[in-house]
Structure 1
Amino acid sequence: MTTSARRTPPAHRRRGFDLRATALFFVLLAVVVCASGFAVHTVAGAVERRPAWVFVLVVVGVSGSVGLRRRWHVARAARRAAAALDEAAREAAARLEAEAEAEAEAEAEAEAEAEAEVLAIPRPRPAAEATVDYDALTPEGFEEAIAALCARDGCTAVDVVGGAGDLGADVVALAPDGCRVVIQCKQYGDSHRVGSQDLQRFGGTCFTVHEADVAVLVTTSDFTAPALEYADRCGIVCVDRETLRAWTDGTGPRPWEAPLAEWTAG
């Protein structure tokens, strides 16, 4: 037995007439028309009774519209002005900070340059009388002159102790760095050079008896080669006539500062 296939209605089948929906539509339309007519009638009556109200309502509406629009523009302009002021303040702060950093760097560079210049400038030592004639002095005067050189160049507790029983020490002083300096003075002529026996007598007492940190033998003459060898072995600084002159006029080193090799090179 065969069954007939059920026909499926087309998807876009046109809907039939709906009486109920149509009636409802016309009812709503009638209500809207009636409400609109009533509103118009009410407004017309109010206009007839109070014509001035229309003008007032129109003015208020226009003013409100203009005010809202102006307020919107003012608020927008205010926001723009605030943003511009904020950006300007940030730029000014950044510029001030950059200027302050540049000024600080310039001051630091100026201080560094000034310090470098101060360090680079040689500080001359006050020279003693460049025309002093050590040969013309008495032995006591020569010792006083050597003591004056020590005091001039920053030594403290300078004392002239030469004389009978001095055990080889004529001048004692404390160098600027605190070292104890013991000096023996030999005022000899050019033909009388300081020999090794003089150095040996001084070397036997300068360290053990006088507790010298720096032992110096100063002469207006020169040293023999054996004397210089002994001084080199014992660590005694030898100052001859030429070196004494350089110490006096400030062109040479102080005995307690100069390396021993510089003094014994000749």
Structure 2
Amino acid sequence: MTARAFGKSAVNRRRGGFDLRSTTLFFVFLAVVVSVLGFAARMVAGTVERRPAWVAVLVVVGVASLVGLRRRWHVARAARRAAAALDAAAREAADELEALTIPPQRAGAEAGVRYDDLTPEEFEEAIGALCERDGCSAVDVVGGAGDLGADVVALTPDGRRIVIQCKHYGGSHRVGSQDLQRFGGTCFTVHEADVAVLVTTSDFTAPAAEYAESCGIVCVDRECLQAWTDGTGPRPWEAAPAGGWAAGRGKAGAGS
């Protein structure tokens, strides 16, 4: 065996063998720890023998502190939960209040609505939406079979009862005098309208316009409807003739 090989063998034996220095240090440290713990235990035992009341007080104080910390933690958690619940309740109340103070708008109240693209039922809803937008109350869309000419019924801002019939016609289909006569026969006598309105997406024939004027029915043609929608023209109840329900009933009865 060469000297180099012998040196490597000696190093390997030192690395894998017993390390006296490390073992000695470990036992010295262990002895110090045991001594300290023993000294502390003797001190505690001596204190318990000499001052048992003090020890009891310290124990009670420690337990009370732990209990207090736990209670404060529970109280803080409960406070956080209560604050979250109050915040959620406040948000819900605010949403409900907003829903009550701001009436829901019907489809079609916007100025850019295209009436030609609507169905007759949607057109009635759109007219009801215009009435709501402009301050009418108790707006009711009642169009359908058996409505006797009343498609929309409402109260104007000044408290008058307005009855509206809606005619969703194409541009070539004008509202004739027969349409006006049928509406004139019910709007005042049956529905007791203070303001009777016939609104259409088309136009009125001359005889129809003459009959409407004679019995006090407000005619709203395509152009007037667009002006009402855009806010550039009068509202139908603002153009109603003087005399109200009594005058209109008398003229309609004479015309029919």
The TM-score normalised by the length of structure 1 is: 0.49
User: Counterpart in 2 of 1:195?
Assistant: 176
User: Counterpart in 2 of 1:167?
Assistant: 148
Letter in 1 for 2:193: A
What is the Cα deviation at residue 260 of structure 1?
Answer: 5.0
1:256 maps onto 2:237 in alignment: yes
What is the Cα deviation at residue 258 of structure 1?
Answer: 1.9
Deviation readout 1:146-194 (Å, 9 max, x if unpaired): 0000000000000000000000000000001110000000000110000
Query: RMSD of aligned C-alpha atoms?
Result: 1.6
Which of 138, 153, 156 is 2:119 aligned to?
138
Assess, with a 3 A threshold, how the Cα gap between structure 1 residues 234 and 161 changes in structure 2: closer, same or farther. Answer: same
Matches of 1:156 and 1:137 in 2, distance apart? 24
What is the Cα deviation at residue 259 of structure 1?
Answer: 5.0
Deviation readout 1:81-139 (Å, 9 max, x if unpaired): xxxxxxxxxxxxxxxxxxxxxxxxxxxxxxxxxxxxxxxxxxxxxx9422211011011
Matches of 1:236 and 1:194 in 2, distance apart? 13
User: Counterpart in 2 of 1:72?
Assistant: none
Please say if residues 144 and 151 of structure 2, whose CA atoms lie closer than 8 Å, have aligned partners that are also in contact.
Answer: yes
Which of 122, 125, 129 is 1:148 aligned to?
129
Matches of 1:214 and 1:141 in 2, distance apart? 22
Matches of 1:253 and 1:143 in 2, distance apart? 19
SS in structure 2 at match of 1:217: strand
Assess, with a 3 A threshold, how the Cα gap between structure 1 residues 260 and 189 changes in structure 2: closer, same or farther. Answer: farther
User: Counterpart in 1 of 2:102?
Assistant: none
Which of 202, 206, 212 is 1:221 aligned to?
202
What is the Cα deviation at residue 250 of structure 1?
Answer: 0.4
Letter in 2 for 1:170: D
Q: How many residues align?
A: 135
User: Counterpart in 1 of 2:138?
Assistant: 157
Matches of 1:218 and 1:259 in 2, distance apart? 13
User: Counterpart in 1 of 2:85?
Assistant: none
How is 1:224-235 mapped onto 2 (pairs within 5 angstroms)? 224-235=205-216
Matches of 2:156 and 2:229 in 1, distance apart? 17
Assess, with a 3 A threshold, how the Cα gap between structure 1 residues 260 and 242 changes in structure 2: closer, same or farther. Answer: farther
User: Counterpart in 2 of 1:177?
Assistant: 158
How is 1:1-266 mapped onto 2 (pairs within 5 angstroms)? 128-259=109-240
Matches of 2:111 and 2:142 in 1, distance apart? 25
SS in structure 2 at match of 1:158: strand
Letter in 1 for 2:138: A
The TM-score normalised by the length of structure 2 is: 0.51
Matches of 1:202 and 1:210 in 2, distance apart? 10
Assess, with a 3 A threshold, how the Cα gap between structure 1 residues 161 and 259 changes in structure 2: closer, same or farther. Answer: closer
Please say if residues 128 and 249 of structure 1, whose CA atoms lie closer than 8 Å, have aligned partners that are also in contact.
Answer: no
User: Counterpart in 2 of 1:41?
Assistant: none
SS in structure 2 at match of 1:177: coil
Percent of aligned positions with the same letter in both sequences?
Answer: 85
Letter in 2 for 1:145: A
